[in-house]
Amino acid sequence: MLTAALTACLLAAAPTPTPPPLREADLAPLFRKGPAAEGKAAYDAGRHADAAARLARAPEPEAAYVRALALLEVPRPEEALKVLAGLEEKVPDLADRVAFLRGAALFAAGRPREALAAWAQVPDRSLLAAEARLSRARAASALGEGAAALEALAPLLRDGAPDDLSRPDLAASALLLAGRIRAAARPPDPAGARRDLMACWTAHPLAPESSECLSAAAALPAPHGGPPSAEETLRRAEGLLDANRNGQALALLEPAVAALRPDDLGAAACRARAALGRGYRKERNYRLAIDTLRPVVAGCEDEGLRVRSLYLLAGASSISGDRDEAVALYRQLARDFAGHAFADDALFFAADLLARAGKSQEAREALAALVRDHPGGDYREEARFRLAWLLKQAGDLDGAIAQLLAVEEEQAGRDGYEHARAAYWRARLLAGRGEDGRRAAEAVFTELATRYPTDYYGLLARARLDGHGGQSLPARRAAPAGGTPEAAYDPGPLREEPHFRAGLLLLRMGLPRAASEELSAIPAARLRAAGDAPEPVLLVADLLDRAGDHRAAHNLLRTRARGALRKPPEGENLRAWRIAYPPAYRDDVRRWAPPAGVPVELVQALMREESALDPRAMSGAGAVGLTQLMLPTAQSVAKSLKLSRPTRTDLMRASLNIRLGSHYLGELVRRFDGSLPLALAAYNAGGGAVRRWLGGRDALDVDEFVEEIPVEETRGYVKRVLRSYAAYRLLYGAPEEASLGLLRRAGGKG
């Protein structure tokens, strides 16, 4: 007979059973039928009283949580309190949210002191902690307890503005409330009030509370009231520039800099001049940017400010057409700031300008110096390819092939893009070297088309095989529509992660926005712990995708699960590809792309690369929305469609933005005779720019023309959109439609 001690030892030594994986049933909606489903549908439709009545008959504790939400909307707070009683024990993964709702119900029921105690139960790790603190402060202030209110607000006063502009800026609200409390205190604290109110105005320039903060600060008694100081104005302008509100920033900076003495190069004056120059550069007013930045580079002491301004000055000089000046400035940066991260960039851009000026030898020397002196620089691989390209242009095909082969061999198994690019162009050069070269090239093209079916260079390789008499490959298709395998995930360390548990439950309850917020709050360390492309990362991305947050889902895969995208979109890996390339806003795309004369999958690809599927995205140049339209372009297209004149806010509406962007892209495709690479280059840089670049290059094949686009951003953009287009066609479309204009001459039909 076993003793109790021996039994305990045996039990302790027994292996812990492995939890089963999460399958589709574990991710499915909780409310699928009965009163819970009916009540949730009523809640989603905004019929809150009806929802509360229907959910009262549902036995699930999760349904009680939704019922409490509905009752607070009606509002019937006392009834909500009864529903919330003891709910933390029944739905422990939402305990912090239950505590927050209890505080809201108590406050609405006229019981502010009890509300304070309830909100204090929301832990600091909760996503509702900041809102709970702000609610506590408002309740304490209403009770005349200013010190308690300020204590609750203290952690919020240091928070920055939210990255997501659709979310409220709670820190700005906290600063406004703190400023008002300090101003009204007995005795008042006008200095502290000024500090908080101006922190709101300077550090939260996009918050609606910002203007209220400025008015409240101006109304403070002397000497604390009055207009903002020069430093406060500068800090706000810098924040506006960071947020791409360039026009608003310039409106503050121009009079401030105009008031400076011409010889004033003190620290504050230099910051103001540098900010103004940056604003002009972002607004593409290159001449004013040059005039403003030149004295900063020549006379300011702050080294970081000087190198950033020198970089902007060189770029503005290049774009404005002063090539020699730009080369000199880039060389100055690389020489004087050799240890700075911009040094290799400067050498590369100098080499690029020299090559375009016909100074091939000087360009090769600059590129060789970059490769030699900056082995860890982010332009090293691009420099190696450009060296090969210059050798090709000079007629040294043996040298070019050797350089490309070295890159190809070094990057095999490391960087798919660099490997594919080097291999493709080596094959292109081999193809012109007799029958043996043609067969060798065909073998490389076949490998690339098979290995990289959705890569830009894999796409080019397939076009070469199909269009030049090589062995044609069968059309690939990832899977039939709806063919994604059933999910089966091992969450690993996420099983005990509170934000994961809450996010999964909220998603199953049909509360996708809250679910997305919880899932996005999972600490990065939890995801990094499992390595590249682990199941936990794929699981979180899948859940975000199900929550409708396609932007966060595909960005997570792009940044933390690249290994999954190096494997073919087949079997279990197909789900990862479909999350990375989601058919976001599909109904709108299907509605507006065909009438515009462009493929549905091309518009999907363009949105993915332009805005990362963020309908509120705004670029530094002022492009807005999913298809990143400039306002004048959007207004011109709207006029041609007999639509009302849109504003920037209008362009953040997905359907309108997709309609206008599709129509504009269709115009460009027709203007460039169906060549998608040229049309995409024009979408990014303008049709006039593409016509200029085509001058003297009409005889080039389109693939060569793309490599010689003088603007790096546009060069990469064309490749990225075509790569995404190939992926979308493979996943959702018809891969066999494959001309794309890839094998045409740049100036006409091939």
**Residues designated catalytic:** 610
CA separation for the pair 76, 83 (Å, rounded): 11
From CA 451, how far away is CA 413, in angstroms rounded? Answer: 11
The DSSP symbol for 616 reads T
Q: Give the tokens for residue 333.
A: 């940066």
Residue 548 Rama label (left phi>0; alpha psi -120 to 50; beta): left
Report residue 455 as tokens.
Answer: 């890569």
| Contact status, residue 377 vs residue 370, Cβ threshold 8 Å | yes
In order of 257, 462, 525, the CA distances from 303 in angstroms are: 20, 50, 34
H or E stretch at 488 = strand 488-489
Which residues are bridge partners to 629 per DSSP? 624
Give me the amino acid identity at 424.
Y
d(CA 84, CA 151): 28
Q: How far apart are the first and last CA of the chain?
A: 89
Q: Which residue carries 């800026």 as its tokens?
A: 169
- Do residues 465 and 442 touch, judged by C-beta distance below 8 A? yes
3-class SS of residue 396: coil
Contact assessment for residue 619 and residue 686, using Cβ atoms and an 8 Å cutoff: no
d(C-alpha 16, C-alpha 32), whole Å = 34
Do 48 and 73 touch, CB atoms closer than 8 A? yes
**Measured between alpha carbons, how far is 341 from 325 in angstroms, rounded to an integer?**
21
φ, ψ dihedrals at 522, nearest 5°? -60, 130
Let me know how long the chain is: 750
Q: Give the relative orientation of helices 286-299 and 267-282 as an angle to the nearest 10 degrees.
A: 150
CB 696 within 8 A of CB 659: no
d(CA 361, CA 367): 10
**Nearest CA-CA partner of 621 in 239, 249, 244:** 244
- Tell me how far the alpha carbon of residue 131 is from its chain's centroid: 25
Is the separation of the CB atoms in 586 and 481 below 8 Å? Answer: no
Residue 14 DSSP symbol: S
Asked if 435 and 405 count as a contact pair (C-beta separation under 8 A), the reply is no
| C-alpha to C-alpha distances, 119 to 106, 135, 149, 368, 672, nearest whole angstrom | 10, 8, 13, 63, 61
Q: Would you say 87 and 68 are in contact if contact means Cβ atoms under 8 Å apart?
A: yes
Whether 459 and 743 have beta carbons less than 8 Å apart is answered as no
Q: How many CA atoms lie within 13 A of 727 on its CB side?
A: 28
Long-range contacts of 385-388 (CB under 8 A, 24+ apart): 385/418, 385/421, 385/422, 385/425, 386/348, 386/351, 386/352, 386/355, 388/422, 388/425
Nearest of 196, 226, 192 to residue 210 by alpha carbon = 196
**SS3 assignment, position 701:** strand
- Read off the amino acid at residue 341: A
Backbone angles phi, psi at 161, to 5 degrees: -75, 150
> Are residues 430 and 437 in contact, defined by beta-carbon separation less than 8 angstroms?
yes
Residue 456's Cβ-side half-sphere holds a number of Cα atoms within 13 Å equal to 21
